[in-house]
Amino acid sequence: MAELYLVEFKGSRKEYFFNTYYHSLKLSEYVIIQAERGEDIGLLSKKVDVEMNFEESARPRSILRPASDDDKAKLEEIRQKEITHETEVIEMIRKHRLEMKVVDVEWQFDGNKMTVFFTADHRVDFRELVKDLAARYKTRIELRQIGVRDEARRLGGVGICGLEQCCNAFITEFVPISTQQAREQDLPLNPSKISGNCGRLLCCLRYESETYETCKRRFPPPGARVRAKTGEGIIEKIDVFNEQAVIKVEDGITIRAGAGDILSVEAERAAEVKPAVAELDEDVEAQEELKKLDDSERAN
């Protein structure tokens, strides 16, 4: 069976393709691939060594050949043309008085299609715009409305961690995220700290969420009075990284105990202990912003 590769295109779009013609290929090199209509160019990013099952309708197409020096030079010309055409498309949108924001313009390598990616708060009737674009550029025009996360992916950028955005690095599809995952990890519920460049909740909030949930289930909740081998007191917080409960005893002294070292738990919970990482104190504005973040996730 032909080798399977992951090919990356402009805007961090990734698709699978078979090396049907058994070319000698190198990772991080450009290849010409079989598009839905014609040919396109992408970067060979990964060889897939595990067997994957695809539905017949989604079966990967073929890698036609490695890109030549002429192909790479043509790609540079296309990228420059896209910058110019983006400005022209914006002008035409203003002419038609449409409420839409152009994110990117992408030409297929063989010139058979031009795709305009845009965001909008509602559905846009762009039929007349498409006619004008087709008449001007003499090719097939596709206008594709995308969400704010896809916009951030296409534009690229650096996250608050100082690293490349996860959506540009390795995420292939977006999954729902909630502020509950930030609470589970005892993170400050400050909207500016837990939101990405897209304005939505950080994708990385889900990476360690399951680890926190699994660890915390092994301990009584914060605020419970417990008796452990090291002493007796009230659980202040769970140190997930060290898998220990931090227990506050008399005179403000704290001790630590693993899940197996806790001997008993009082039937009634003690007074709630203020979390070590405080949420924003009754900041109504921040709470409303957090609710908006959750609501936007549910809407998608």
Q: Using the predicted structure, report yes or no on whether residue 196 has a pLDDT greater than 60.
A: yes
pTM of the model: 0.80
Helices (H), the chain: 69-96, 127-137, 148-155, 166-169, 179-184, 209-216, 284-299
3-state class (DSSP) for residue 131: helix
CA–CA distance from 98 to each of 86, 101, 169, 225 (Å)?
A: 15, 9, 33, 62
Is pLDDT at 282 greater than 50 in this prediction? no
Torsion of CA 28, 34, 36, 37, to 10 degrees: 120
Question: Where are the chain's structural domains?
Answer: 4-67, 73-146
Q: Has residue 210 got a pLDDT over 80?
A: yes
pLDDT at residue 277, rounded to an integer: 47
297: pLDDT confidence band, cut at 50, 70 and 90? confident
Average pLDDT, the chain: 91
For the 73-146 domain, the top CATH level (class) is: alpha beta
The pLDDT of 42-58, averaged and rounded, is: 92
For residues 171 and 150, what is the distance between their CA atoms, to the nearest angstrom?
11
Q: What is the pLDDT of residue 113?
A: 97
